[in-house]
Amino acid sequence: MKKIFIAPSLLASNFLSLDTEVKRVIEAKADYLHYDVMDGHFVPNISFGLPIVQAITSQFSIVHDVHLMISNPANYFEAFAKAGANIITFHYETAKDTQTILAWVKQLHQLGVKAGISIKPQTKVEVLKPLLGVLDLFLVMSVEPGFGGQVFMPAALEKIKWLRQQLHNSKLTGLIEVDGGINLETAKSCIDAGVDILVVGSYLFKQSHFSKTIKQLKHE
């Protein structure tokens, strides 16, 4: 049985009690903590940045999964690595060409962090073909990046299936992650399509029993 990982999105947590919220996530045995960093330029929203990541990574040990929804992400790779990120995911749409992406991956690996790439709903998944085997993680957006609480876009399922097929056929490793509108029902569709990691924000944080919900989302 393939292991499914849950990555609660901090964006949906109660920012007035971050300490308690992160403790709840860890006690519920979530596998990753997902940080949705937004700059108000690449996406039409501003969320949080380095001080929050630093504060949490200095107190809590979980896989710190940083999703940079920002322009010029490479300007901040070192700062987020120093702030404790274990995975840094940038957006395909922010790089001018494949050479740039290859250089960014090298830079991230030199910083000792895993490299992820994310594609927006309008971006065709086939653009990732030359990057299979290069990136450690592929993040398929199932909503338009910028806001939590949106409705899942089923077109993401074909992208997950395509990535799973490509990785399988070419015997390459790489984690497939999905982000946006995940609930019990969409989690099942994504798992059936071949996803490894489910980013869950609003659906999870509105539940009172995190561990029960996390078990249910895994459909194990």
- Span from 28-36, 52-60, 128-136, 185-193 in contact with Zn ion (CB under 5 A): 28-36
- Span from 75-83, 93-101, 106-114, 178-186 in contact with ligand DX5 (CB under 6 A): 178-186
Q: Is 108 in the site for ligand DX5 (CB under 6 A)?
A: no
Nearest in space to 53 (alpha carbons), one of 27, 77, 24, 74? 77
185 to 204, contacts with ligand DX5 by CB under 6 A? Answer: 199-203
String of contacts with ligand DX5 for each residue 124-163, x by CB under 6 A: -------------------x-xxxxxx-------------
Partner whose binding site includes residue 181, from ligand DX5, Zn ion, none (CB under 5 to 8 Å by kind): ligand DX5
Footprint on this chain of Zn ion (rule: CB under 5 A): 36, 67, 179
Residues marked active site are found at: 36, 179
- Interacting residues toward ligand DX5 by CB under 6 A: 9, 11-12, 36, 69, 143, 145-150, 179-182, 199-203
